[in-house]
Amino acid sequence: MTAARSRAERLAGTQARLAQDVDVWVASASPEGEPYLVPLSFDWDGEALLVATPAASPTGRNLIATRRARLGLGLTRDVSMIDGDVEVVELDALPEDQAERFAARSGFDPRDEPRQYRWFRVTPRRIQAWREADELAGRELMRDGVWLD
């Protein structure tokens, strides 16, 4: 365990992951409180994470019903946790350049898939980042959708 990072260091690490990582853990829940979790590829446009999954999959059904997701970026001992609001976008309703950017980053184009996919835009409301227990203090990076100074 090294020294706890400053907020600026955690922010830089989180923004690097948002810009460069390909996969994110996506937790969702049914309206009855049944948890679900799956890794998905994502893109980040500076304001929201874009993921795609079939509308009829457990994650798709949950996000359509509850419009809430909690995302885990990174590794278990170097995480950025993101609580977000979910917007559901029909496959052909996303601007072409955004779909192309997602396909280039993820190596996967949901528009080519036989199952009925949807886009899900997850806008962060809260972001936290920590490595180990000594970093639990000061883990908050965004609150109510606003990056902390």
Nearest to a second copy of 106, 119 (CB atom):
106
Min. distance of Cβ 106 from a second copy in angstroms?
11
Min. distance of Cβ 82 from a second copy in angstroms?
9
Q: Which residues bind a second copy (CB under 8 A)?
A: 23-25, 27-39, 62, 65-66, 68-72, 75-77, 79, 81, 108, 133
HEC assignment per residue over the chain = CCCCCCHHHHHHHHHHHHHHCCEEEEEEECCCCCEEEEEEECEECCCCEEEEEECCCHHHHHHHHHCEEEEEEEECCEEEEEEEEEEEECHHHCCHHHHHHHHHHHCCCHHHCCCCEEEEEEEEEEEEEECCHHHCCCCEEEECCEECC
Min. distance of Cβ 37 from a second copy in angstroms?
4
Nearest to a second copy of 8, 103 (CB atom):
103
Query: Taking the CB of residue 44, how many other CB atoms lie within 10 A of it?
Result: 20
Min. distance of Cβ 44 from a second copy in angstroms?
15
Nearest to a second copy of 95, 107 (CB atom):
107
Nearest to a second copy of 36, 89 (CB atom):
36
